[in-house]
Amino acid sequence: MKRTRLAALATSLAVVATGVAAPHARAWENGYNAATDTCTITFTESDQEKVNDAYRQLFELIARNAFAGLSEREGAGLIEAYALDPATKNAALLSPDAETRGAQTRFFMSTGDDHSNYVRGVAFANLSKREVIEDGDREIVMFPAQAHEEGGPLYGVDLAGVAMAAAWTSAIDGGISGAKDLIVETAKENYPRFAAPILTYSKAFEACANKKDSTGAVSSGSSLSGDQLSSIGIAGGVVALILIAALGFAARPLVDQWVAGMNR
């Protein structure tokens, strides 16, 4: 199968970012059935762990950034610890600790940035505890048209709680679209940690959208900093462009042309 320049660049990024050779062992698999015009995408347990861990860290980071914007540092620290505690199933509920509960009430009842940052932090803290690939969902059957429209980095991300927060408060500018933008922007700003697993996860849906049988592996994130990646030729702007393109496969031909022009 002839790969596009963008796919080749994404693969090179994953190899450099993880510091290991491209995997040869079969991991995720997309099988296209022309008779039914459907794809069966199967992820391994290892894929599942890497994808879920990447998104958990990404959503935790968004939550921490929101809590960092609260005006009262001591109360913000209590709320962050409670909201991100794995034992806290719903950070919107009041803490049993009186001091933390008081801080929650103050920030929720406040106006302006404190209220918005609190609600946004709680929404993404809750989102960080929801698996993108659940145990019973490692096999996905979909139409290529569905993969084209819905597949990509945010497939399987449960944005219901974030959508609710956006619907009745100004916590997230632009509503659900703004929430998606926030996720992508945060991933772009921290691309060494998230680019490889997010991009390689997306490739399974790209294969389905293109009606191609394909296999691959979800890569791990890297501990390299953005400056370190840039020093070896992986520019943040290029990674950002790939992440944006991953949101919609229809945009990829234009991006391919841009990357080709860059390499001339």
Tens digits of pLDDT across the chain (264 residues): 433 333 333 333 333 333 333 333 457 999 999 999 999 999 999 999 999 999 999 999 999 999 999 999 999 999 999 999 999 999 999 999 999 999 999 999 998 889 989 999 999 999 999 999 998 889 999 999 999 888 877 888 888 777 776 665 655 665 677 777 788 788 777 777 777 788 778 889 989 999 999 998 888 776 444 444 444 344 444 444 444 444 444 444 433 443 344 344
- Domain of residue 217 covers 5-262
pLDDT, residue 187, reads 79
The rounded distance, in Å, linking the Cα atoms of 125 and 69 is 15
Bridge partners of residue 140, in order along the sequence: 41
Neighbours of 73 (CB within 10 A): 10
Total number of domains constituting the chain? 1
Using CA atoms of 119, 69, 131, 225 in order, give the dihedral in degrees to the nearest 10. Answer: 160
Give the N- to C-terminal CA distance of the chain in Å, as an integer.
24
The rounded distance, in Å, linking the Cα atoms of 155 and 198 is 10
Contact 79, 103 (CB under 8 A): yes
pLDDT, residue 172, reads 62
The rounded distance, in Å, linking the Cα atoms of 225 and 130 is 27
